[in-house]
Structure formats: structure tokens, C-alpha cells
Amino acid sequence: MGHANAEFEDPAIVVLGDSLSAGYQLPADHAWPALLELELREQKFKFKVINAGISGDTTAGGLARLPQLLSKYHPHCLIVELGANDGLRGLSLQQAERNLADIIEQGLASGSRVLLVGMQIPTNFGPRYSNYFQQMYPRLSQRYSISLMPFLFASLDENPNLFLADMLHPNSLGQQLLMKDVLASLKQHDLLIPARTRYGIKESQ
């Protein structure tokens, strides 16, 4: 079928995120999504990784940006790393959960596989709020039967050598660890198997 070269472009992984994906205060190529593309190439996986992380973004911002990203890139995999700013600003978590649910539904409806990345927040707004925040991610993962990376910072362990001075944003060393953990999660959930070969048949037939 000679008509659709687009079919044979490298499939896209779109990272819909906030400053934790954007690589806040770092050169663009130090952010974990950029490192992920290099590492995937190194390991002979052919994916382009689109870093759609915007510092300060909320679940509402991500939801507003998503349709254009889906129509432009038709991602094989959508990594959703949002919610921390909703939590740090004390926004409604019920609304944040609805926004994340809408993001997941749109991703799945477009044929993307979804990896939801969990975060944790300090207890500034009380334990009830931070507990709800933490449980929101596993709840959505179960509801939609999608893959969950329970906590983006699992390996960083509040180690000051891995963060910028604000202790909120990972530095270049921290970004390397984030990339390794995200990659491990993508592999663990079999999210790197290209759709065309997943069932041993070509979808374009």
C-alpha cells in the first residue's frame, strides 16, 4: 500500500505534563522525555517522544491542550503526568480527577495506550486532602484498566543531590533517574510494543 508514508513514521509517545516533564530551569535536552527518546533509540526502539510538558500546567490546562496533540501526533502511547499543580494550589481534587478521567477517555478513544503517572503532595492542606490526592491515581488506573506508574519520584527519595535548590524540581541527575523509571514502567506494562505488530497482523490491511 504505497499511499500512506505517514503510517511508517516512528510512532509517537506524547508526554502530557507540567514542570516535572518540561525540565524546569534545565536545557530542553536534559528533561527526562528527551533522555527517553535517546535511550529508546539506543535500545533499538523506534519512537519519537514529544515533550508536551508546560511548567505550571494543571489538569485543566492539560485537558484543554490534549485534542490538538492527539490529532497532530496520533500517539501510540500517552504518558499523563499532571495533578501536582492542582494539589499544590489547593484546587478541587474532585475536579482534577474529572479532568484526568476526561484526558484518559480521550486518549483511549483516539487509540492511544495510556500510562498514568502518580504524584504525591505535602500535607499543607491537611491529611484528608493529600490522601485523596494520592488515591486518585490508583483509582483512575483501576477504573479505566490503564497502566499506572505509582510515583514519579520513587527513586529520588528527597535526595538533595538530585533536585534543584527548591527541592521540588529534579536537576539533570534526577532527570536521568526519572527517565530510567519511566522506561522501566513502559516496559513493565508492555507499552512499547508498536500497535502494528502487537497482534502479529498489520492493522492497515
- CA proximity to 19, closest of 183, 175, 177: 175
Looking up cell 484526568 gives: 100
Active-site residue, from 112, 141, 169, 185:
169
| CB distance 81 to 18 below 8 Å | yes
Helices (H) and strands (E) counted in the chain, each on its own, are 8, 5
For the chain, the farthest-separated pair of C-alpha atoms sits apart, in whole angstroms, at 59
Active-site residue, from 3, 71, 145, 166:
166
Could you give the angle at which helices 93-109 and 59-73 cross, rounded to 10 degrees?
Answer: 10
**169 part of the active site:** yes
Element (H, E) at 100: helix 93-109
Rounded distance, CA 98 to CA 82, Å?
12
Active-site residue, from 18, 19, 112, 147:
19
**145 part of the active site:** no
Rounded distance, CA 205 to CA 199, Å?
13
The residues annotated as belonging to the active site are 19, 166, 169
